[in-house]
Structure 1
Amino acid sequence: MIAADLPAQWPPSVELRRVEAAEARQGVVAGERELFAVSDRAIGRYDRSTGRRTGMWRAPPGSGISHVNSCILRARLLVCAVSNYPALPQRSHLLWIDADTLILRSARSLDGPGSLTFADWHADSWWVGYANYDGRGGMPGRDHRATLILRLSPDFVERQRFTLPATLLARIAPRSVSGGAWRGDWLLLTGHDRHEGFAVRLSPDGQRLVHVATVPLPTPGQAIAWDPGGHLWSIDRPRHALVESLAPPPLGTPR
């Protein structure tokens, strides 16, 4: 690897606020008026200004929903990435939950080359992350290096697949990618337990992901979200908190 390919180091993110949320186990969604705390089988909705919980979605009994990994808010629907981790073989699907009524509207199987951990909408495409692990929850014959990011059409047909840069894989081993959220032309990925995120961009030819920067985060991994004002939200899983922070733009340019 040449020096020009090494990722830059972001300045530390500046923590702005914490909101206590018992469901802050897997990820967070940040809208203009509300926050959503995501756990394996439940999602709590919180008033953004007061921090008061205003609603709760729970996985229906007998639904088989056991591991909600992350959600995004799109057109007043929570679109949630779900896996059966740590069961094998790996199974994944998406849920659409009404953000106002917290009623499950639909679901779609999205089995792929790993365990689905995030889905985001960017550039008229779905971008989804399939985690692979060295140990528990991993498929025989695959390890963290098999983690993939897929670009899908609006109707979920695969258009491209991307492996992760070696510099990023070295930081997430032996686990995988837990969260991913686009901001402008770069995607911020998070691992499972480190206090850092990884900014990646598409190479100029659009055929690979380039790790352009590593950012220190105030929280240890899991799914993240950008709010409409450009602030980053993450979770402090041990303390059951949603954390708002100010993260500067990534340094460096793709090569």
Structure 2
Amino acid sequence: ILHLDSAMLMDGKLYAAHSNYPQWPMTSSIEIFDAETMAHIGTHRFDIQRGSLTWADWHDGHWWMTFANYDRMLGLGKTPYGHKANTVMVKFTKDYRPVQSWTLPKTILDRFEDMSNSGGSWGPDGYLYLTGHDPAELYRMRLPKAGSVLELVDIIPMNIRGQGIAWDRSQPGVIYGIIRATAKERAEGGGHKVTVFRLVEKP
């Protein structure tokens, strides 16, 4: 296990997005854990393609995942790690066969600066919610009626520092986020924090 990002809980199993960030070439997998014991019980590896997997969610009978790419200069050659414009969200079948894919609009790519999309979760209102690596905000998105670029509905300020998010499917309307501790905060004994918000009313 090298780089775990977002995760989602379903049927007693925790499905975690995993990649080899910041190594090259990019490789990704879904790592599966027993939610009660946290024992590692399975994995699904993706081909060397698309980018670094940062989040996965189950919605409407399909898997939805984003493979992030970055403008941050990394590696011996100090080149962009995939170019963030190549970030893509992919819809998969239950057995991980790709069905369709979308790119992200420039409006939110610009807000990511040299990083990319870190978190994603489908809300009880039918919208997709995304986060960046650092910004204290959520991006409410929807699928386009035509074309291959996700549509931005609005930007919601939130007390987070980017990273993963997850809607609580047992309490519709409740979403969890993360305040990632800075190096200075960790040196002073601080740690990461989980934040909880009610964003939409129970349908």
On whether the aligned pair clears a TM of 0.5, the verdict is yes
Partner of 2:186: none
Partner of 1:222: 163
CA offset digits 1:205-246 (Å, max 9, x no partner):
485421001010111100001112121110111141111112
Question: Distance between the aligned counterparts of 2:81 and 2:141, measured in 1?
Answer: 27
CA offset digits 1:2-53 (Å, max 9, x no partner):
xxxxxxxxxxxxxxxxxxxxxxxxxxxxxxxxxxxxxxxxxxxxxxxxxxxx
AA aligned opposite 1:234: G
Q: Is residue 38 of structure 2 the alignment partner of residue 102 of structure 1?
A: yes
For the 8 Å contact 2:174–2:200, the answer to whether it is kept is no
Query: Aligned runs of 1:117-136 on 2, under 5 Å?
Result: 117-136=54-73
SS of the equivalent of 1:168 reads helix
RMSD over aligned CA atoms reads 1.8
Query: Aligned runs of 1:228-247 on 2, under 5 Å?
Result: 228-229=170-171, 230-238=173-181, 239-247=191-199
Query: Identity across aligned pairs (percent)?
Result: 37
Kindly tell me: are residues 69 and 141 of structure 1, through their superposed partners in 2, closer, same or farther at Cα, counting changes over 3 Å? closer
For the 8 Å contact 1:132–1:144, the answer to whether it is kept is yes
Kindly tell me: are residues 204 and 142 of structure 1, through their superposed partners in 2, closer, same or farther at Cα, counting changes over 3 Å? same
Q: TM-score, normalised by structure 1?
A: 0.68
Q: TM-score, normalised by structure 2?
A: 0.85
Q: Which of 75, 93, 97 is the equivalent residue of 2:11?
A: 75
SS of the equivalent of 2:91 reads strand
Question: Distance between the aligned counterparts of 1:172 and 1:136, measured in 2?
Answer: 14
CA offset digits 1:64-118 (Å, max 9, x no partner):
x111111100110001110011111111111110111221111110233000000
Q: Which of 90, 102, 105 is the equivalent residue of 1:165?
A: 105
Instruction: Return the structure number with greater relative CO, CA threshold 8 A, min gap 6.
Output: 1
SS of the equivalent of 1:90 reads coil
Runs of 4+ in structure 1 deviating by more than 6 angstroms, as ranges, are none
Kindly tell me: are residues 104 and 208 of structure 1, through their superposed partners in 2, closer, same or farther at Cα, counting changes over 3 Å? same
Q: How many residues align?
A: 185
Gaps of 5+ in 2: 182-190
Question: Distance between the aligned counterparts of 2:120 and 2:74, measured in 1?
Answer: 20
CA offset digits 1:148-176 (Å, max 9, x no partner):
00011111111101010121112112110
Question: Distance between the aligned counterparts of 2:162 and 2:96, measured in 1?
Answer: 27
Kindly tell me: are residues 87 and 213 of structure 1, through their superposed partners in 2, closer, same or farther at Cα, counting changes over 3 Å? same
Q: Which is further off, 69-78 or 139-148?
A: 139-148
